[in-house]
Amino acid sequence: MTTLSKRGPAAVFLLPALVIYSAIVVLPIAQAAWLSLTEWNGVSAATWVGFANYVEVFQDGVFLKSLVNNVVYILVVMATQIGAGLILAILVSYLQRSRDLVRTLYFIPAVITVVAIAQLFRSIYSYEPVGLLNKVLLGLGLKPVPWLSNYQTALPAVSFVEGWQFIGIYLIIFYSALIAVPKDIVEAAQIDGAVDLKLLFRIKLPYIRNVIGLSLILSLVGALRGFAVPLLLTRGGPGSQTEILATYMYKKAFQSIKLGYGSAVAVIIAVISFAGVILIQRSTRSEED
Amino acid sequence: MKRGLGLTVIVAMALAVAVAAIPLWASGTNESGAQSGPKTITYFTSKPPTDNVVIAIQKVAAAYKAEGHNVDLVVDTAADRPAYVQKLRTLVAGNQMPELFDLDADPYAAQLGSAGKLVDMAQYLKKIGVYDTYIKNAIEYQRLPDGRIFSFPNQFVTEMTWYNVDIFNKYNLKAPKTFDEWLQVCKTLAANGVTPIAIDGMDGWPLMRYIAMVPFRLSGNNYITDLSTGKAKMSDPIGMAGVNFVAQMGKYFQTGFSSTDYTTAKNLFLGGKAAMYEIGTWELTNFISANLPAGLKVDYFYMPTTANAVTKPNEYWAFGGIGIAAAKDKFDAQTEAFTTYLIKHYDAVYLKLQQYPPTKFTISDPSAFDPLFIRVQKDQAQYGDLACKPWDVLLPADVNSTMADNLVALALGKVTPDDFARVIDQSLAQNLKK
């Protein structure tokens, strides 16, 4: 105990992890930050342009549209993951049997590759050939919808996929928190006359509010890293309706061969994500206080 | 505790930079020593493993090895063209170019060539005595605007619009000869509940075919050449003619086209769900009678024309396809020997697959080929002088990307032709000023 409380040994134990973290996280961010101050096509030498890329980015209508789209994307992802995860966790906690089976089934999408998930939903959303969702609409006597091509539905449809994939993770988190609510508190509330819904809203949910808060932040940071689903389903289209920051960064860097400009967008994403991390730290510190 | 940890962080970062820099120190050294085992040559392609070009190349490579040459060809494919482009550019930026790879004669190829990264293919083809054997439009397609050639063709392609004969007959329609007739055909089909045109809206280049057609008829390749060099604007009358054509045709693409991929679009037509489908002869094997779905009869027409056209009706899309380039620093004696063998033996193998090789050829036994193959080959033999240059190989990459995104919006009616032209002109101005 006294050994680990000393600075020297603590530093020695932390050093290997810090080296690896620096090499794979800090260094690429630093390289991207340097690249963002240049114009580079990946072939000839990079040309220093200072902050010109950033000036261009903030005047770029498509970038600003991507930023707004990203906010919508995050909101839909978070609502799906946290909302559905919490509701399902509550329902599972009331199940008398097969809880493990249900939890496992909901967790399966989280471990399936995103390419398979995207292909699955491409088929589900398909207009022609008629996909599952449109078959349901036709069965209900409604008109089919080109979910991924319609300007109004494309972004929510794409966002839902990312949200859906990780519902299982938040189901597990919330379920674990709900069953950890102390039984004596629950029994005391029941003695005072609290029944199911009151027990849920007045006792259990307030008790796990820290977990809900942390999950909100984790979901936010995860949604900020969204990329594969919109790229695979719509490539940011139709028009720029499903373009989010990460897909725009990718297009600028690798399709438009403007690696400096793409790096500027990447740095902006990193700054926004870093702000999310600060939020986590402040939230957990205020709880400790 | 904080001071000690702060020092730890600094030391960690310094170590990380040092560790990360090791590959940079080592990159200047070449591998030395004799190589044991087979020489591995990588061919990186955007074509799927089932593509006839890939199959033919692999057959030639197998024959080369069977002759006693200790060379293994590894074919590395990408999921689709955009994924291929992204990976290639990453490999190039990381100094990891494969020995052979697909490369369009576009501004990126010009950059690679100017940086000394590519074998001068015109020189090489002349050196091995095959340059003059190529079909003119096949080899010319590989030529950059400044005259250099950095890739050799592996096919001769013409593009046409295939149509469902039964659907056309049902509504008394004929293959259109002009753009106005084409629009009228589409209008009739749409009015009768038939999807006129199947198109892959995900990949960008199919839509760019439509915007290129009218300007080609009105100016040959002059307009697109001027557009790509800043001498013309999208908002010029010829450009707007192309833009307006897409705005009109967009109404006749299948619903949901913007998220339809290449294979789904093809299957829409082959499944009888769309009346027309524009695609090139690399897909010819899908349309020969033996391979057509039961009950499907197809025919084709070439790019329609218009009044005041400066190009002839027998001039349309004809090119050498995406060529194959060679990395200069990996073009050692063994790679050169293999590439020479490949170029000289490939065409005969490719022809046997009922595909059109890029060199001049004659068919000694027509009965060995499907009648459709022979018919299209006769069309190719009567081809005119000028071939329509695809816009995506002339325009800067960023303009291509902007155009691909905005063409979808234009075809969907979400932007006006004037707004589309304004956005493209802005993109051209930004990208051509540097």
- CB-based contact B255 A127, cutoff 8 Å: yes
Contacts with B206 (C-beta within 8 Å, 6 or more apart), sequence order: B199, B200, B265, B278
Contacts with A244 (C-beta within 8 Å, 6 or more apart), sequence order: A66, A69, A70, A73, A226, A227, A230, A236
Crossing angle for the helix pair A154-165 and A99-111, nearest 10 degrees? 120
Count of structural domains within chain B: 2
Residue A273 lies in a domain: yes
pLDDT higher than threshold 70 for residue B37: yes
Whether residue B203 is found in the same domain as residue B261: yes
Measured in angstroms, the CA of B203 and the nearest CA of chain A are apart by 9
Residue B289 lies in a domain: yes
- CB-based contact A128 B397, cutoff 8 Å: no
Q: Tell me the percentage of chain A whose pLDDT exceeds 90.
A: 61
Residue B22 lies in a domain: no
pLDDT higher than threshold 80 for residue B239: yes
Residue B187 lies in a domain: yes
Residue B370 lies in a domain: no
Residue A275 lies in a domain: yes
Residue A172 lies in a domain: yes
A256 touches B: beta carbon within 8 Å: yes
Whether residue B141 is found in the same domain as residue B230: no
Whether residue B228 is found in the same domain as residue B114: no
Provide, as residue numbers in chain B, all residues whose Cβ is less than 8 Å from the Cβ of A146: 255-256, 259
Residue A188 lies in a domain: yes
Which residue in chain B has the smallest CA separation from A254? B86
pLDDT (0 to 100) of residue A130? 93
- Among B12, B258, B397, beta carbon nearest to A149: B258
Suggest the residue from A5, A24, A41 to mutate for an interface test with chain B (most B CBs closer than 10 A).
A41
Whether residue B299 is found in the same domain as residue B407: yes
Provide, as residue numbers in chain B, all residues whose Cβ is less than 8 Å from the Cβ of A118: none
Could you tell me the pLDDT band of residue A287, with boundaries at 50, 70 and 90? low
Residue B210 lies in a domain: yes
Residue A225 lies in a domain: yes
Residue with the bigger pLDDT between B276 and A254: it is B276
pLDDT (0 to 100) of residue B160? 98
Range 25-44 of A in CB contact (< 8 A) with B: 26-27, 39, 41-44
Any idea which of A119-123, A144-148, B14-18 has the lowest mean pLDDT?
B14-18
What's the rounded Cα separation, in Å, for the pair B183 and A105?
Answer: 51
At B324, the amino acid letter reads I
Could you tell me the pLDDT band of residue B10, with boundaries at 50, 70 and 90? low
pLDDT (0 to 100) of residue B6? 64
Closest CA to B178 of B308, B44, B17: B308
pLDDT higher than threshold 60 for residue B32: no
Could you tell me the pLDDT band of residue B25, with boundaries at 50, 70 and 90? very low
- CB-based contact B111 A233, cutoff 8 Å: no
Residue A216 lies in a domain: yes
Count of structural domains within chain A: 1
- CB-based contact A149 B19, cutoff 8 Å: no
Closest CA to B122 of B102, B139, B101: B139
- Mean of all residue pLDDT scores within chain B: 91
In DSSP terms, B162 is beta-bridged to B277, B300
CATH number for the domain that contains residue A196? 1.10.3720.10
A281 touches B: beta carbon within 8 Å: no
Average pLDDT over residues A255-281: 88
pLDDT higher than threshold 90 for residue A242: yes
- Tell me the per-residue pLDDT of B87-116, one tens digit each, with 9 for 90 and over: 999 899 889 999 999 999 999 999 999 999
Whether residue B151 is found in the same domain as residue B168: no
Residue A163 lies in a domain: yes
Any idea which of A39-43, A52-56, B213-217 has the lowest mean pLDDT?
A39-43
CATH number for the domain that contains residue B419? 3.40.190.10
Whether residue B59 is found in the same domain as residue B119: yes
pLDDT (0 to 100) of residue B12? 64
Residue A2 lies in a domain: no
Residue B143 is encoded by which pair of tokens?
A: 């030529």
What is the span of the domain harbouring residue A136?
49-288
- Among B90, B111, B409, beta carbon nearest to A239: B409
In three-state form (DSSP H/G/I as H, E/B as E, the rest C), the secondary structure along B24-80 is: HHHCCCCCCCCCCCCEEEEEEECCCCCCHHHHHHHHHHHHHHHCCCCEEEEEEECCC
A36 and A263 in contact (C-beta within 8 Å)? Answer: yes
Provide, as residue numbers in chain B, all residues whose Cβ is less than 8 Å from the Cβ of A126: 256
A263 touches B: beta carbon within 8 Å: no
Whether residue B174 is found in the same domain as residue B212: yes
In DSSP terms, B323 is beta-bridged to B103
pLDDT (0 to 100) of residue A192? 81
Residue B397 lies in a domain: yes
pLDDT (0 to 100) of residue B284? 93
Could you tell me the pLDDT band of residue B27, with boundaries at 50, 70 and 90? very low
Provide, as residue numbers in chain B, all residues whose Cβ is less than 8 Å from the Cβ of A259: 93
- CB-based contact B412 A238, cutoff 8 Å: yes
Residue B55 lies in a domain: yes
Provide, as residue numbers in chain A, all residues whose Cβ is less than 8 Å from the Cβ of B16: 19-20, 22-23, 26-27
Whether residue B168 is found in the same domain as residue B149: no
Could you tell me the pLDDT band of residue B36, with boundaries at 50, 70 and 90? low
Residue B14 lies in a domain: no
Cis, peptide link before residue B176, omega less than 30° from 0: no
- Tell me the per-residue pLDDT of A250-263, one tens digit each, with 9 for 90 and over: 999 988 989 999 99
A66 touches B: beta carbon within 8 Å: no
Whether residue B229 is found in the same domain as residue B240: yes
Average pLDDT over residues A47-64: 95
- CB-based contact A146 B115, cutoff 8 Å: no
pLDDT (0 to 100) of residue B9? 65
pLDDT (0 to 100) of residue A4? 57
Whether residue B420 is found in the same domain as residue B300: yes
What is the span of the domain harbouring residue B237?
157-318+388-432
Range 43-62 of A in CB contact (< 8 A) with B: 43-44, 62
What's the rounded Cα separation, in Å, for the pair B101 and B43?
Answer: 5
A230 touches B: beta carbon within 8 Å: no
Provide, as residue numbers in chain B, all residues whose Cβ is less than 8 Å from the Cβ of A258: 398
* Rg, chain B, Cα only: 24
Pairs across A and B, CB distance < 8 A = 142
Any idea which of A62-76, B10-24, B124-138, B269-283 has the lowest mean pLDDT?
B10-24
Whether residue B164 is found in the same domain as residue B137: no
- Tell me the per-residue pLDDT of A225-238, one tens digit each, with 9 for 90 and over: 899 999 999 999 89
- CB-based contact B408 A239, cutoff 8 Å: yes
pLDDT higher than threshold 60 for residue B23: no
| ipTM of the prediction | 0.86
- Tell me the per-residue pLDDT of A169-215, one tens digit each, with 9 for 90 and over: 999 999 999 999 888 888 888 888 777 788 888 888 888 988 998 89
pTM comes to 0.88
Cis, peptide link before residue A238, omega less than 30° from 0: yes
Provide, as residue numbers in chain A, all residues whose Cβ is less than 8 Å from the Cβ of B414: 151, 238-239
Whether residue B290 is found in the same domain as residue B193: yes
Range 34-93 of B in CB contact (< 8 A) with A: 82, 85-86, 89-90, 92-93
Could you tell me the pLDDT band of residue B167, with boundaries at 50, 70 and 90? very high
Provide, as residue numbers in chain A, all residues whose Cβ is less than 8 Å from the Cβ of B401: 251, 255-256
